[in-house]
Structure 1
């Protein structure tokens, strides 16, 4: 059927309630369902509904402000219970059946969630009962008068460059889940060892693969090594990231991050007991018996563990500086990007935007050291806050003020600048230059805009900004161009010289491809973003058409010989950029 083509594979059950919630706020109260169902007030069912909501829904929603979807307070007073029940149970059926509300929702969002076949009737009613306890609250007031918030923070549109990336399919990931996305491939990198290059790619479901001759070979199945491993409710949870020590060829050491249930073990980074813990992120070190082995065999140890308020914005990246060589202060230092864990959305801003908390930061540690509080790793003596006397300061912090520092990379040519992409809330997606000790502003800033109380609303900075402590992005786009930035790389390969020096990135959700001139990225300057087209088999196309999906889940990786690879969770395919087509438009060059 027509609508089936646009089915969005989701990693969390309540993406559907996101759509439902938005519909309920925006549509009329007409329904073609009979109103023969009531909302339960049974305390036991409500308690069960809260648990189901936390497990399946809180990654996308809260009851204060919009997250991935709208805030859900008061949702059960906006429509009939019977309609809400059936929409949660099987939205595609209602859309294809012509239900007025459902069709209006589809037309607005151009996507819908799959049917919730895993939930029985009592479970859906329990969720509805819990939702009914969360009635509308007043939006947070602004802290100052700055005029109207900006409906369109960046009115200028991204221009097309005239160039399309020509890609070729090179591999298909194995299926690792029963429900879409069937392969949650997330990061690809190349290990250079002994004069040869080994490509690795991981699936959030718990498997680290080596990609050999365009075939996936299991290198490590973390599910067999970590009995408390979980990959629910989806999004970024599971096997989050991986990085090989720069001396892996000799020491056989590499690192991973993964999620475990709350309370699995005492956390090194925790907060007050009154605040809910949804899950824990764990950083582990693995030591192979034989670094040349095709599969992992050896030992592992835990370096650190952090509690998270929610299941979103966790540990998205761990990486080493590829430009550091023995003798450099940065050689062997591990960077870890940690999101705010949904703390800001949940109403705990004090957990981020702070040198005293790990959330919303990039930390930098010596994984082979031992001077941390738990003795499992070292704190580099040149970290920016090491000399601050306060015992509350987290000396591991290298930079802070992020919502979700999703990807970190270095330009391996030119001046070797460090680039950080930060996924925004409602308005702005950003690219930053990495700077030790910098405060990137999340909670008070999103991109080059001010937030005041309601983090959904962006305001222009005052003409005379009284707070000059924030570091602003070097490139940014707003949400009428895309929804979530997918960090990429400055191209330094040889295969496609036309791309040399361009930082190529994209949008996770829409799959749009962009670039900025890497050599021109500089503090205090906004470099224009230009769009790249896409060409497959000589035909111009889009990632949504290639994946036959409305949510692309776009990712980038650097493979052998510094060449650029692009892959998607939507279909689990890996593609290589082999050429470009077209001609750069002189007006933007």
Structure 2
């Protein structure tokens, strides 16, 4: 393992000013108190997941920025960072190289909104200082090798645009109703579509049913996931998760009053009058409402065990992936580091038909590891995840989850009941201090075993992927039996044989379109791919991109 200081004071100044001898910038920024207050609200809603004024996070520390960079440059970059990168602006290119992911644009912000945002940012006067300590890079020196596998894509379907700027449609999941060939996909802004004859038809307009639903700000808000009950054809039941503003209704799970509730994640059960109908008509009920401290890391996954049969104890139990809600980044690490006493940073498993849960609207399965134990959260199956965005089973019935990391490490974990997977005191097989710098990782201590951490089956450093997304086990072709996954922003594609224990080897693969090899960025005409995967009833694999709302079938 090699440790380096990622940037120096000189390079940091370069990021914030190409003309350090110039007089202080920002003299034209308003200091009006009401405008500052408005800007604070906008910052907390739009920016705080990736930025703060104490240290570098997912994006750079913004303290002192308005005094070191031309105000117009900041305005332009907030509106359209992609344009600055395409124009080879030195500062924009340097930021992309350093943080390895492109900041989304905010074209919906008005000039007045940006004025207010700048006023708030201008209240932080100090130029960021490079952090001290063991800031790390090249933690995993072995690089992912290209397998040479190239698979042809064909355009399968196009979702209707739900916005006028990318991402044009915000799909996260595409799967069939169990036991049928009916194929469903979500748009986070709208609800659920059924794809029939390669054409999408709106099945559930969730925005209409839940007017409080919000899908901004952030990529992870809106309709986060959906799952059809394995008996949907007879009982008509399916489930969705979506976001509403903080304080919309009393929550079932929350945290300390000293941390703001930015939004709430809501789990809903829907019951179709006619399960064969092409558009939903029926009843619904709220099952669960959870407070979230930011726009990120909430209820990103809902699923049922596809291997469970009627009569099995796991049959009909709903799995829920729930992240830390941004609590660790806001320095409330205890909320996610709960040792099984809370529900954040966890994979949950509930019985939608039960009544002994916290609010009486769901049940706690007796097979759960903490069920019936005083002081413990019986809903929790396993914990210690920053953002368990996908839960899946391999072809042998083993449970896994992909977990998006903070600054350095992405994880694929094999899930065992009751186990602790490290966050927020571990990132991959490295120590992280949740009260220090998130950009500093350290070797494991000699007495690490006493902490009871279960480590990833696969870990990847951010020079390979910055936001991991699963993926399915492929059933045919050159990747048969392999788990396919990828990188959300870049669209880079990977696979691994999860049965290769203890350390499955990750390799990359690529695609062709029209007989020519093409990168996913080129295919979707954007520097941010927003990669997702889908699967149909025949186990065919699909690749999806939010950027243009297109769905591609792997031939």
Output the TM-score relative to the length of structure 1: 0.86
Q: Which residue matches 1:15?
A: none
Q: Which residue matches 2:399?
A: 418
Q: How does 1:450-529 map to 2 (within 5 A)?
A: 450-452=431-433, 453-492=436-475, 496-520=476-500, 522=501, 525-529=502-506
Q: Name the SS of the counterpart of 2:511 in structure 1.
A: strand
Q: Which residue matches 2:345?
A: 360
Q: Which residue matches 2:547?
A: 570
Q: CA deviation at 1:148?
A: 3.4
Distance change >3 Å, CA 27–CA 104, structure 1 → 2: farther
In the alignment, the residues of structure 1 paired with residue 130 and residue 95 of structure 2 have an alpha-carbon distance, to the nearest angstrom, of 27
In the alignment, the residues of structure 2 paired with residue 88 and residue 286 of structure 1 have an alpha-carbon distance, to the nearest angstrom, of 39
Once structures 1 and 2 are overlaid, which stretch shifts more, 241-250 or 98-107?
A: 98-107
In the alignment, the residues of structure 1 paired with residue 508 and residue 492 of structure 2 have an alpha-carbon distance, to the nearest angstrom, of 7
Q: Name the SS of the counterpart of 2:315 in structure 1.
A: coil
Whether 1:374 aligns to 2:359 is yes
Distance change >3 Å, CA 203–CA 116, structure 1 → 2: closer
- 2:16 touches 2:91 (CA, 8 Å); kept in 1? no
Q: Which residue matches 1:175?
A: 161
Q: What CA deviation, in whole Å up to 9, does each residue of 1:357-392 have, x standing for no partner?
A: 2211111100010001211000011110124222xx
- 2:15 touches 2:94 (CA, 8 Å); kept in 1? no
- 2:62 touches 2:128 (CA, 8 Å); kept in 1? no
Q: Name the SS of the counterpart of 2:521 in structure 1.
A: helix
Q: How does 1:404-443 map to 2 (within 5 A)?
A: 404-411=387-394, 413=395, 415-443=396-424
In the alignment, the residues of structure 1 paired with residue 80 and residue 13 of structure 2 have an alpha-carbon distance, to the nearest angstrom, of 15
In the alignment, the residues of structure 2 paired with residue 566 and residue 98 of structure 1 have an alpha-carbon distance, to the nearest angstrom, of 30
Q: 1:285 aligns with which of 243, 263, 269?
A: 269
- 1:427 touches 1:456 (CA, 8 Å); kept in 2? yes
- 1:64 touches 1:346 (CA, 8 Å); kept in 2? no
- 1:514 touches 1:529 (CA, 8 Å); kept in 2? yes
- 2:531 touches 2:545 (CA, 8 Å); kept in 1? yes
Whether 1:122 aligns to 2:112 is yes
Provide structure 2 residue ranges, at least 5 long, that are not aligned to the other structure: 1-10
In the alignment, the residues of structure 1 paired with residue 389 and residue 13 of structure 2 have an alpha-carbon distance, to the nearest angstrom, of 30
Q: 2:140 aligns with which of 154, 164, 180?
A: 154
In the alignment, the residues of structure 1 paired with residue 196 and residue 46 of structure 2 have an alpha-carbon distance, to the nearest angstrom, of 36
- 1:27 touches 1:104 (CA, 8 Å); kept in 2? no
Distance change >3 Å, CA 212–CA 78, structure 1 → 2: same
Distance change >3 Å, CA 466–CA 33, structure 1 → 2: same
Distance change >3 Å, CA 267–CA 134, structure 1 → 2: farther
Q: CA deviation at 1:132?
A: 2.3
Distance change >3 Å, CA 569–CA 491, structure 1 → 2: same
Q: CA deviation at 1:197?
A: 1.2
Distance change >3 Å, CA 171–CA 245, structure 1 → 2: same
Distance change >3 Å, CA 445–CA 140, structure 1 → 2: farther
Q: CA deviation at 1:356?
A: 2.3
Q: CA deviation at 1:32?
A: 10
In the alignment, the residues of structure 1 paired with residue 324 and residue 223 of structure 2 have an alpha-carbon distance, to the nearest angstrom, of 18
In the alignment, the residues of structure 1 paired with residue 229 and residue 83 of structure 2 have an alpha-carbon distance, to the nearest angstrom, of 50
Q: Name the SS of the counterpart of 2:203 in structure 1.
A: strand
Whether 1:74 aligns to 2:55 is no
In the alignment, the residues of structure 2 paired with residue 94 and residue 162 of structure 1 have an alpha-carbon distance, to the nearest angstrom, of 33
In the alignment, the residues of structure 1 paired with residue 183 and residue 207 of structure 2 have an alpha-carbon distance, to the nearest angstrom, of 21
Q: How does 1:93-132 map to 2 (within 5 A)?
A: 101-102=91-92, 105=95, 116-132=106-122
- 1:24 touches 1:75 (CA, 8 Å); kept in 2? no
In the alignment, the residues of structure 1 paired with residue 256 and residue 165 of structure 2 have an alpha-carbon distance, to the nearest angstrom, of 36
- 1:275 touches 1:309 (CA, 8 Å); kept in 2? yes
Q: CA deviation at 1:462?
A: 2.8
Whether 1:538 aligns to 2:515 is yes
In the alignment, the residues of structure 1 paired with residue 127 and residue 356 of structure 2 have an alpha-carbon distance, to the nearest angstrom, of 46
- 1:474 touches 1:527 (CA, 8 Å); kept in 2? yes
Whether 1:230 aligns to 2:214 is yes
Distance change >3 Å, CA 299–CA 487, structure 1 → 2: same
In the alignment, the residues of structure 1 paired with residue 13 and residue 289 of structure 2 have an alpha-carbon distance, to the nearest angstrom, of 39
- 2:178 touches 2:228 (CA, 8 Å); kept in 1? no
Q: What CA deviation, in whole Å up to 9, does each residue of 1:155-201 have, x standing for no partner?
A: 110001121122221111111112211111110111134xx411111
Provide structure 1 residue ranges, at least 5 long, that are not aligned to the other structure: 1-20, 579-589
Q: Name the SS of the counterpart of 1:168 in structure 2.
A: strand
Q: Name the SS of the counterpart of 2:173 in structure 1.
A: strand
Q: Number of aligned residue pairs: give it.
A: 542
Q: How does 1:304-319 map to 2 (within 5 A)?
A: 304-319=288-303
- 2:498 touches 2:504 (CA, 8 Å); kept in 1? no
Once structures 1 and 2 are overlaid, which stretch shifts more, 29-38 or 460-469?
A: 29-38
Q: How does 1:33-112 map to 2 (within 5 A)?
A: 37-89=27-79, 101-102=91-92, 105=95
Q: Name the SS of the counterpart of 1:350 in structure 2.
A: helix
Q: Name the SS of the counterpart of 1:561 in structure 2.
A: coil
Q: 2:256 aligns with which of 272, 283, 303?
A: 272
Q: 1:248 aligns with which of 228, 232, 237?
A: 232
- 2:134 touches 2:440 (CA, 8 Å); kept in 1? no
- 1:64 touches 1:345 (CA, 8 Å); kept in 2? no
Q: Name the SS of the counterpart of 1:59 in structure 2.
A: coil
Output the TM-score relative to the length of structure 2: 0.91
- 1:386 touches 1:395 (CA, 8 Å); kept in 2? yes
In the alignment, the residues of structure 2 paired with residue 437 and residue 24 of structure 1 have an alpha-carbon distance, to the nearest angstrom, of 47
